[in-house]
Chain A
């Protein structure tokens, strides 16, 4: 009787161990792999740009590969942007030697005001004027400040919408600086709660550089593009601008109201009803 109990116990133990092995082999491990792959996939490469800074120097994002880049979209008329700047100056000073580069891109502002501010605050990092294309490449920036942290591997690790405490940036910068040059900071986690406005969504260059802004025309041949533009010219825009759909898309490329019907027209154009 005692032997039978030992036998049953041994069989149960083997079943449990085998079960745990199969659970681990076919369930937990693949899930981990998928999660890691997904995490890397969620970190898009920062769109390249080339700007001229206030001192006339060329500012190419590609030149900073292997560095950690804090990219700050800001303006002098924006109080929440101004309050962040002294913190950025300190961060640049503290972490420059370890590979931190801060880039300020001013938006909807004039160079003279920015120059005055630059001198007054003794800014110690490059500042350049941004444009519509850059804003769209970075997913369309709804408000200022908006700050992106780019890792040594050139990927965007976090986006902060609105004034953010310097300690949040510092924690994230330290984590990114700790990664090997050009390697992914796999364990990186954005500090605090990630709000909807902080989801990293980038613009599609095929839509941004399109003759009909916001609509990807890459599948059309040149004569089809001309024809499609005529179709849009024949449609009234419903955003209240009183323009046709084509003119509306061109005159106000950020307008979401006209973008959708223009894309719908493209779908119809590509797949005409039988």
Chain B
């Protein structure tokens, strides 16, 4: 039986961090999570000196949207995935898709927003001198959700990564192509 990309990812011990963790804001938190974030790693390991594609997959609840990484209006809180690089693993690129332009009751202008499923890609680069092992990277996914008539507080949820570095001659197997092919890294 063929395993799904996410199951594969879990089995090989790479990262999958679901995130409903609450930000420290004053607003009360709804019991219904509006955004769920998971990660998809492009391979079961990476050799020193090579790059690795990863993505954060955010599922946004129906009727809600989160702001574009480059929001239409300056007062809107942009969606962002921040990853702290380490000595061994650097962040080469973070790729956000273009949002959808939508008109809402509360705005005269069309706003660029994300709805449904959002995939944010990150290209990691492993330093050439990195010995085999697993390397954790801390990350934060920042978003602020609204529907047509109300907004929820901005949230920062931990979306971390664990990168498995293998030896120079070791074989690596690609994973999560179904997710990562949707991200325009180039």
- Cβ-closest chain A residue relative to B152: A143
Q: Are A141 and B28 in contact (CB under 8 A)?
A: yes
Which residues of B in the span 70-88 have a Cβ within 8 Å of any Cβ on A? 73, 75-77
Q: Are B146 and A78 in contact (CB under 8 A)?
A: yes
B153 located at the interface, meaning its Cβ lies under 8 Å from any Cβ of chain A in the complex: yes
**With contacts A143-B151, A240-B20 known, is A82 near B27, CB below 8 A?**
no
Q: Are B151 and A107 in contact (CB under 8 A)?
A: no
Which residues of A in the span 94-145 have a Cβ within 8 Å of any Cβ on B? 107-108, 113, 117, 130-132, 134-136, 140-145
Q: Are A254 and B150 in contact (CB under 8 A)?
A: no
B30 located at the interface, meaning its Cβ lies under 8 Å from any Cβ of chain A in the complex: yes
**With contacts A141-B27, A143-B27, A144-B27 known, is A107 near B106, CB below 8 A?**
no
Q: Are B154 and A79 in contact (CB under 8 A)?
A: no
Q: List residues of chain B with CB within 8 A of the CB of A108.
A: 25-27, 153-154
Q: Are A142 and B28 in contact (CB under 8 A)?
A: yes
**With contacts A80-B150, A113-B75 known, is A140 near B104, CB below 8 A?**
no
Q: List residues of chain A with CB within 8 A of the CB of B22.
A: 252, 254-255
Which of A80, A82, A254 is close to B75, meaning CB atoms less than 8 Å apart?
A: A82
Q: List residues of chain A with CB within 8 A of the CB of B21.
A: 240-241
Q: Are A135 and B27 in contact (CB under 8 A)?
A: yes
B11 located at the interface, meaning its Cβ lies under 8 Å from any Cβ of chain A in the complex: no
Q: How far is the CB of B34 from chain A (nearest CB, A)?
A: 10
Q: Are B151 and A142 in contact (CB under 8 A)?
A: no
Q: Are A107 and B26 in contact (CB under 8 A)?
A: yes
**Chain A interface category by residue count:** 35 or more
- Cβ-closest chain B residue relative to A140: B28
- Cβ-closest chain B residue relative to A197: B150
Q: How far is the CB of B28 from chain A (nearest CB, A)?
A: 3
Instruction: Tell me how many residue pairs across A and B have CB atoms closer than 8 Å.
Output: 91
Q: List residues of chain B with CB within 8 A of the CB of A134.
A: 26
**With contacts A240-B20, A254-B22 known, is A78 near B28, CB below 8 A?**
no
Q: Are B77 and A77 in contact (CB under 8 A)?
A: yes
With most chain A CB atoms within 10 A of its CB, the pick from B77, B105, B149, B151 is B151
Q: List residues of chain A with CB within 8 A of the CB of B134.
A: none
B100 located at the interface, meaning its Cβ lies under 8 Å from any Cβ of chain A in the complex: no
Contacts A78-B146, A254-B29 aside, 5 further interface pairs with beta carbons under 8 A come to A80-B106, A80-B148, A107-B26, A135-B27, A252-B22
| Nearest 8 Cβ contacts at the A-B interface | A140-B28, A162-B149, A162-B150, A143-B150, A108-B25, A78-B151, A79-B106, A80-B106
Interface residues of A (CB under 8 A from B): 75-83, 107-108, 113, 117, 130-132, 134-136, 140-145, 161-163, 240-241, 252, 254-257
19 A-B Cβ contacts within 8 A? A75-B151, A75-B153, A77-B154, A80-B146, A82-B106, A108-B26, A135-B27, A141-B27, A142-B30, A143-B150, A144-B27, A144-B151, A144-B152, A162-B150, A252-B22, A252-B29, A254-B28, A254-B29, A255-B22
